[in-house]
Amino acid sequence: MNPHIWWYLSRSAGIVAWIMLTASVLWGIVLATDLFPKWRRNARLLAMHRWLAGLTLFFIAGHLATLLFDSYAHFRPVDFVVPYAGTWRPTAIAVGVVALWLLVAVEVTALAAKKLAKGWWRSVHIASYFVFWAVSIHAALAGTDTSKPLYTVTAIVALAAVVFAASYRALSHDLPKRRPVGAARRVPGQRPGALT
């Protein structure tokens, strides 16, 4: 058996977790825009977002669990939850630890969304963007695959997709909303029900 098998498994799980996180963030942005009007949004679309987030957590758990068996960097459980507890690339690992805690906060509030005020839930859920960027920085600083062409292409595509989608989301938020064809336009100050 290859003595570095746990290291390879951990790296693979970490990269897949990052890809699942990217997909979850992108799908969340799609749900928040007018790409799917509210009347077309159904439980399956939201379930897809939750499924991608669940896969992210699953692969993160695999990433961390396999690191415990690895003899290359010698991680301890405390290294996964306390920034700068370890000695191997401490800043890179600390960024990953912060991303993990933010992701836990996002997931816990997502599970309790029906019991929370919408504004409070939304404020915490915005941390998903910070999680994505922190994980991307963690991967770039701690990853040993950053010089590989496949990693580089994947990173460029993931970063560009999230930047584009987040920019569209931010810009479309301030744009006037589309009205259905034939819908009456309401003039400010005009009584409801009056047509123009």
The CA distance from 144 to 123, in Å, is 34
| Mean of pLDDT over the chain | 86
**Least confident span in 53-62, 85-94, 149-158, 181-190:** 181-190
Quote the pLDDT of residue 186.
52
Put simply, whether the predicted model's pTM sits higher than 0.75 gets the answer: yes
pLDDT tens string 134-170: 999 999 999 888 889 999 999 999 999 999 999 988 8
Measure the CA–CA gap between 35 and 51, rounded to whole angstroms: 20
Distance CA 51, CA 32 (A): 17
Where do the structural domains in the chain lie, given as residue ranges? 5-173
Q: Confidence band (pLDDT; 50, 70, 90) for 185?
A: low
Return the pLDDT at 136: 96
